Amino acid sequence: MIWLFFIVTGGISLLLTSALRRYALAKSLIDVPNARSSHTVPTPRGGGVAIVVSFLFLLPVLAISSLLSWPFTWGLLGAGAGIAVLGFLDDHGHIAARWRLLGHFSAAVWALFWMRGAPPLSVMGTTFDMGWVGIVLAMLYLVWMLNLYNFMDGIDGLASLEAIFVCLSAALIYALMGLGALAWAPLLLSFAVAGFLYWNFPPAKIFMGDAGSGFLGVTLGIFSLQAAWASPSLIWVWVILMGVFIVDATFTLIRRLVRGDKVYEAHRSHAYQYASRKYGRHLPVTLAVGLVNVVWLLPIALCVALLGLDGVMGVIIAYIPLVMLARMFRAGAVEKIDPLQ
């Protein structure tokens, strides 16, 4: 019955995305290509609301069925809904960066309150309870995860496919570790995203929008902290699984900060954006990221979870070639904008 429940979740997301596409077309909620865009065809936006609604509406069913704890459920509901509403309002107009950031930190505080603060951190075989320092670091981590996911939602299917991969990989690792109870929420999210991906797969018929991307970022971050409460090494498993997004977004941000760019302004200088322009399509880049995830990041994450590889060492091994790829595809480099565009 649980698998039927997940399939129903995907179906709801699929139908909601279709309805949201019609709504966006009727209300002219369209992303029109410009010099900062990675797409060339006007496309409706805001479809990520389908992910939010299908996941949050059905999440309490897992808690009622005793498959999730109620504190964790409340943490997900409050933080996820708050970020989704903030993103929805921003999609329909504009909210100043300072107010968005205030909302992001408020969501992080809410989630950490229901999770009893930050989990212990395992580094080189030693586990640290970092107290208030850990809480501050966890807040920054959740806010960064939220924003980097927004940054990385720039070409068709990429953010959706990444969320499905990370959630399914984490569920697999939980099952192999005997922690299957942790898998239910990630599995539910993967099916909610899969329904949306039908419409978002290249060439996309609708975009996710800030409501969807911000929601996915904060939710995945909360999942990773929940996992670390069960086993401190699992935080590194999540950081490895999300390596492509973390490296591209962080490398690009640092390079732009060093150069003195206004990092809150729209740009298209991420490695995946340069790659999509180089190859002329989104599909090869989206599929290549999926391949890197499956053949490189997942095996390393499995080694950390099951074979005793130190988490920090696993991150270093996983990230070295990702940093090289980011450099190769000029992540954060100055964009050359065609003045005729």
* Count of the separate structural domains present in the chain: 1
pLDDT at 20 over 90: yes
Terminal alpha carbon distance of the chain: 53
pLDDT computed for residue 334 by the predictor: 87
Evaluate whether 150 touches 210 at the Cβ level (below 8 Å): yes
pLDDT at 73 over 70: yes
| Across 231-235, 259-263, 329-333, least confident range | 259-263
pLDDT band at 54 (very low <50, low <70, confident <90, very high): very high
pLDDT computed for residue 335 by the predictor: 76
Rounded Cα distance between 154 and 151, Å, is 7
- For 152, the domain range is 2-328
Asked whether residue 135 is domain-assigned, the answer is yes
pLDDT band at 263 (very low <50, low <70, confident <90, very high): confident
pLDDT at 75 over 60: yes
Asked whether residue 240 is domain-assigned, the answer is yes
pLDDT at 49 over 50: yes
242 vs 267, higher pLDDT: 242
Evaluate whether 216 touches 292 at the Cβ level (below 8 Å): no
pLDDT computed for residue 339 by the predictor: 43
Q: What does the pLDDT look like over 289-333, one tens digit per residue? A: 999 999 999 999 999 999 999 999 999 999 999 999 999 999 999
pLDDT band at 124 (very low <50, low <70, confident <90, very high): confident
Q: pTM (2 decimals)?
A: 0.95
Is 150 annotated in a binding site? The answer is yes
CA angle 76, 73, 100 (to 5 degrees): 15
Average pLDDT value for the chain: 93
Mean pLDDT within 155-179: 97
Asked whether residue 340 is domain-assigned, the answer is no
pLDDT band at 340 (very low <50, low <70, confident <90, very high): very low
Mean pLDDT within 260-269: 82
Asked whether residue 154 is domain-assigned, the answer is yes
| Across 19-23, 129-133, 197-201, 225-229, least confident range | 129-133
Using alpha carbons, list the distances in angstroms from residue 250 to 81, 103, 130, 273, 338.
26, 21, 24, 14, 26
pLDDT computed for residue 122 by the predictor: 86
Rounded Cα distance between 237 and 302, Å, is 8
Is 90 annotated in a binding site? The answer is no
Using alpha carbons, list the distances in angstroms from residue 136 to 105, 108, 313.
10, 10, 24
Residue 287: exposure state from Cβ atoms within 10 A (0-12, 13-18, ≥19): middle
pLDDT at 341 over 50: no
pLDDT computed for residue 237 by the predictor: 98
Asked whether residue 293 is domain-assigned, the answer is yes
Asked whether residue 24 is domain-assigned, the answer is yes
Q: What does the pLDDT look like over 189-216, one tens digit per residue? A: 999 999 999 999 999 999 999 999 999 9
pLDDT at 89 over 50: yes
Asked whether residue 338 is domain-assigned, the answer is no
Residue with tokens 């968005």: 100
pLDDT computed for residue 36 by the predictor: 61
Asked whether residue 179 is domain-assigned, the answer is yes
- Please report, rounded to a whole number, the percentage of residues in the chain having pLDDT higher than 70: 96
